[in-house]
Structures are given as structure tokens and as C-alpha cells.
């Protein structure tokens, strides 16, 4: 500088600018850092975690609902199998009563000394429809008994199939129970409609009055050894099915308890996050802003403060350049601005970048949260999102440009101070 007085004034202005900058930037760091770490970061964590927990809660609730329906299906299957066992136990007595009624009609026509089984009687024609022809036909009592046995065995077998078919084809039936019901449906139905029917028909052929010797209560097991074996096989299949259904019910119940435990834990976490969000919102109530508004505006404020700090740093660096040759670090030492040989230059640049990095962090988080940019009705607003995205991008790009220019100047080699200068 041409005059020592001008140089002294420039040095004094530089020192005052450095001190003022320390006050300003220190306040910015404390404000942005404290607000970011104590308010924004926890708030972003809560806002990011809540949707995932809500979705998981919904999924678990739906899984529990399906499990409850599966339990109801298994219970219905157990009830259907139990009802069928009672129907099967009552079937012999019902068949004996039906045979006795048919034979009684034949005995009335044949007289006390005649053979009632050879007498012809009229019975309803099978498959006859009203108005399509004769609805009755004439057959012998023996034939009527045979048909009654076949009809009852078919009805008995079909009753089990009809009882379990809706349960077997239900969408919420456990996979293992579906296969068990299918196997039981095929096995029991075949043994009744084919095997047991054949044994009873053969017993009637061998002796028409075989039904008179049935015990009371009547039982198909007394017809023959083969009939007893069939009944035991059917009973074993039904018992095994009931055991497996009971095991499926136990497993489903245990799984439901685990799911409910998880749901309770998730709901507790959701409540805790909600309370935490409430405390965070209460901590910034002085700003009279909703949490969403705070998230929207924070990147703008933080980026603007970062730009102000960077512009002032560049001003200080310009003053240093004008005072080249003077050891300014001895006159006005700074923890931010110094010569390129001063230790910690890189960390000083990182410190300068901290407010801008905080703005970038919240800007990206805000743009990825659909609940931040909404209209007055609380619906997502693409227009608001696009407007804020443009503002964020401009501020951040300008900030990065200023930060790069500042870092280049701070790291560039500087002239050594002249000998004898202050």
C-alpha cells in the first residue's frame, strides 16, 4: 500500500471483519447445529419411521385377521367332522327303521304266511320330475330294500363330502388341513358309498332278515367282519382327521399369539414415536409452525445462512489478498480464515460447509416425504413440491459454487510476508 496509514486502516478493518465474522458464523453454527441435531434430525427420523411402522401394523393386522378366519375354518371343519360321526352312528338305526317300514308294507300284502320280499309295491321313481311322466314305479320289496340301502349309503357318503367341501375350498384354510380334508373326503366317501354299500347288499342277498339281528342301538359292525373292518377304518380316518385339525388349531393359535405380540410391540413403538413427534413439535411451538412447515422451510433458512457465511468469508479473503505480504495471522488470528499453511485448513472448510450440508440433508429428506408438501386439504401438492425443489436446488447449487470458490482460495499458496512487516 502507498501510505502506512492506509495500510494500518486496512489491517484494522480486516481484524474487525474477522472478529465480526467469528461472532456471526459461531452463532450460525450453534443455531443450525443445535436445531438440526435436536429438532430436525429426530423429526426426520420419526417421519421416516412412522409410515413403515403403520404399513407393518396394517400387514400384521391383516395377517391376524386371516389367521382368525383360519381358526374359524378349522373349528368349522372340526364341528362338521363331529356332526358326521354322530350321523354315521345314527345311520344303522335309521336304515333298520326304513327297511322295517318297507317290509311291513310287503307283509301287509303277502299275509302272515307269505314271503313279504317277493310282493310288489309302488315306490317313488328315482329322478322323476313332476309333469314329466309317471312319478312311481312297481318293484318287489327286496328290490325296494336294495335301493333303500344304496340310497342311504350314497346320502351318507355325500353328507360328509358336502360338509367338508366348503371348508376345504375356503381361501383361508391352512394348507395342511386342506390336504387332510381332501384325503378324508375321498377315503370316507369311497368306503361308505362303495365298500360298506357292497357289504350290506351282499348281507341282504345272503339273508333278507339280516337287519333283524342288529343290536340296539343298531351298528353296521354287527353285519359281518368286513363291515366291522370298514367301520373301524372310517372311524380311524375321522379320528386322525380330528387329531390333525386339533394340531392345526393349536399351531394357528400359537402363531396368532406371536403375531399379536409383534403387533402390540409395533403399536407401542408407534405410540412412542407419536409422543416423540408431539414433544418435538412442542419444542418449536415458539415458531408457530407445523412440523411439515418447519421441514419445508428449514433447508431455505439453513442454505441462506450458509450463503451469507460464505459471502462474508470471500470478502475476508479479498481483504487478505489486498494485504498480501503481511502476517495477518499474527494480527487477527482466526479459526476459520488463515493462510494455506495453517494447520486445520481442511477442517475449517468442512466447518464452513456444515450449514450447507445440513440444508442438503433436510432438502432431500423433505422431497422424499410425500406428507411434507400438501395443500390446505392435506392432499399431496405436486406444484408445491416442484416449487420448493427449484428453490432448494438454486440455493444449494449457489452454495456449492461459493464453497468451491472459497475452498480454492483458502487452499491456494499465498505470498510470504515481507521481512520486517507486521
* Residue 70 Ramachandran class (φ > 0 left, ψ -120 to 50 alpha, else beta): alpha
Residue-level pLDDT at 318: 84
Where among 209, 240, 271 does a domain terminate?
271
Q: Are residues 253 and 351 in the same domain?
A: no
**pTM more than 0.85:** no
Question: Which run of H or E residues covers position 108?
Answer: helix 41-110
The single residue listed with the C-alpha cell 303277502 is 110
Name which of 366, 363, 313 is nearest 336 in CA terms: 313
Give the three-class secondary structure for 327: coil
Q: Are residues 376 and 333 in the same domain?
A: yes
Instruction: Determine, yes or no, domain membership for 147.
Output: no
**Is residue 338 within 8 Å of residue 20, measured between CB atoms?**
no
Q: Are residues 351 and 247 in the same domain?
A: no
Q: Rounded CA gap, 299 and 144, in Å?
A: 93
Instruction: Determine, yes or no, domain membership for 191.
Output: yes
The residue range of the domain holding 73 is 61-116+155-271
Q: Rounded CA gap, 200 and 215, in Å?
A: 16
The single residue listed with the C-alpha cell 416425504 is 369
Instruction: Determine, yes or no, domain membership for 236.
Output: yes
Residue 95 phi/psi, 5° resolution?
-65, -40
Instruction: Determine, yes or no, domain membership for 319.
Output: yes
Q: Are residues 345 and 266 in the same domain?
A: no
Q: Are residues 92 and 201 in the same domain?
A: yes
Q: Are residues 331 and 393 in the same domain?
A: yes
Q: Are residues 245 and 367 in the same domain?
A: no
Residue-level pLDDT at 342: 65
Q: Are residues 85 and 202 in the same domain?
A: yes
Number of domains composing the chain: 2
Q: Rounded CA gap, 374 and 250, in Å?
A: 48
Instruction: Determine, yes or no, domain membership for 27.
Output: no
Q: Which residues contact 28 (CB under 8 A, 6 or more apart)?
A: 305, 306, 308, 309, 355
Q: Are residues 74 and 111 in the same domain?
A: yes
The single residue listed with the C-alpha cell 456471526 is 24
Residue-level pLDDT at 223: 86
Residue-level pLDDT at 135: 73
Instruction: Determine, yes or no, domain membership for 6.
Output: no
Give the three-class secondary structure for 124: strand
**Is residue 411 within 8 Å of residue 344, measured between CB atoms?**
no
Where among 271, 297, 325 does a domain terminate?
271
Where among 240, 271, 302 does a domain terminate?
271
The single residue listed with the C-alpha cell 370298514 is 230
Residue-level pLDDT at 379: 79
Q: Are residues 77 and 195 in the same domain?
A: yes
Residue-level pLDDT at 142: 92
Instruction: Determine, yes or no, domain membership for 193.
Output: yes
For the purposes of burial, counting CB atoms within 10 Å of the CB of 1, is it exposed (0-12), middle (13-18) or buried (19 or more)?
Answer: middle
Name which of 87, 151, 218, 222 is nearest 230 in CA terms: 222
Q: Are residues 210 and 76 in the same domain?
A: yes
Instruction: Determine, yes or no, domain membership for 221.
Output: yes
Q: Are residues 230 and 266 in the same domain?
A: yes
In order along its 422 residues, the chain shows pLDDT tens digits of: 446 677 778 788 888 888 888 889 899 999 999 988 888 888 888 888 888 898 999 999 999 988 888 888 888 888 888 888 888 889 999 999 999 999 999 988 888 888 899 999 888 877 656 656 567 888 899 999 999 999 999 998 888 888 777 777 776 666 667 777 778 878 888 888 899 999 999 999 999 988 888 777 788 888 889 989 999 998 888 888 888 888 888 888 899 999 999 999 999 998 888 888 788 777 777 666 778 888 889 999 999 999 999 999 888 888 877 776 676 767 767 777 766 666 667 888 888 999 999 999 999 998 988 888 887 766 778 888 899 999 999 999 999 999 999 888 887 765 554 444 43
Amino acid at each position: 500500500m502507498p501510505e502506512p496509514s492506509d495500510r494500518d486502516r486496512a489491517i484494522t478493518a480486516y481484524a474487525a471483519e474477522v472478529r465480526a465474522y467469528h461472532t456471526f458464523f459461531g452463532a450460525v453454527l450453534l443455531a443450525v447445529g443445535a436445531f438440526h441435531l435436536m429438532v430436525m434430525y429426530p423429526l426426520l427420523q420419526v417421519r421416516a419411521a412412522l409410515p413403515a411402522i403403520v404399513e407393518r401394523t396394517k400387514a400384521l393386522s391383516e395377517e391376524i385377521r386371516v389367521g382368525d378366519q383360519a381358526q374359524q375354518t378349522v373349528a368349522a371343519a372340526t364341528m362338521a367332522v363331529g356332526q358326521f360321526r354322530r350321523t354315521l352312528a345314527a345311520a344303522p338305526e335309521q336304515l333298520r327303521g326304513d327297511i322295517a317300514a318297507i317290509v311291513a308294507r310287503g307283509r301287509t300284502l303277502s299275509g302272515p304266511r307269505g314271503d313279504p320280499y317277493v310282493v310288489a309295491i309302488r315306490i317313488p321313481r328315482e329322478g322323476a320330475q313332476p309333469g314329466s311322466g309317471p312319478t312311481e314305479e312297481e318293484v318287489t320289496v327286496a328290490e325296494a330294500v336294495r335301493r333303500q340301502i344304496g340310497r342311504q349309503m350314497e346320502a351318507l357318503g355325500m353328507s360328509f363330502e358336502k360338509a367338508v367341501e366348503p371348508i376345504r375350498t375356503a381361501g383361508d384354510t391352512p394348507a395342511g388341513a386342506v390336504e387332510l380334508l381332501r384325503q378324508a373326503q375321498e377315503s370316507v366317501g369311497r368306503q361308505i358309498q362303495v365298500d360298506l354299500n357292497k357289504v350290506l347288499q351282499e348281507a341282504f342277498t345272503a339273508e333278507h332278515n339280516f337287519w333283524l339281528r342288529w343290536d340296539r342301538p343298531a351298528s353296521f359292525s354287527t353285519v359281518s367282519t368286513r363291515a366291522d373292518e370298514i367301520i373301524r377304518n372310517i372311524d380311524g380316518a375321522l379320528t386322525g382327521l380330528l387329531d390333525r385339525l386339533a394340531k392345526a388349531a393349536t399351531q394357528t393359535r400359537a402363531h396368532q399369539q406371536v403375531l399379536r405380540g409383534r403387533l402390540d410391540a409395533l403399536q407401542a413403538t408407534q405410540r412412542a414415536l407419536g409422543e416423540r413427534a408431539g414433544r418435538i413439535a412442542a419444542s418449536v411451538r415458539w415458531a408457530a409452525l407445523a412440523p411439515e412447515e418447519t421441514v419445508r422451510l428449514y433447508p431455505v433458512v439453513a442454505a441462506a445462512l450458509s450463503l451469507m457465511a460464505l459471502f462474508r468469508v470471500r470478502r475476508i479473503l479479498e481483504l487478505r489478498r489486498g494485504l498480501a505480504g503481511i502476517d495477518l495471522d499474527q494480527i487477527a488470528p482466526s479459526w476459520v480464515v488463515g493462510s494455506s499453511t495453517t494447520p486445520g485448513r481442511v477442517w475449517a472448510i468442512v466447518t464452513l460447509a456444515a450449514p450447507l450440508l445440513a440444508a442438503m440433508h433436510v432438502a432431500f429428506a423433505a422431497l422424499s416425504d410425500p406428507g411434507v408438501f400438501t395443500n390446505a386439504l392435506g392432499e399431496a401438492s405436486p406444484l408445491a413440491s416442484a416449487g420448493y425443489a427449484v428453490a432448494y436446488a438454486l440455493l444449494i447449487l449457489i452454495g456449492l459454487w461459493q464453497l468451491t470458490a472459497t475452498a480454492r482460495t483458502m487452499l491456494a499458496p499465498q505470498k510470504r510476508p515481507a521481512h520486517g512487516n507486521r
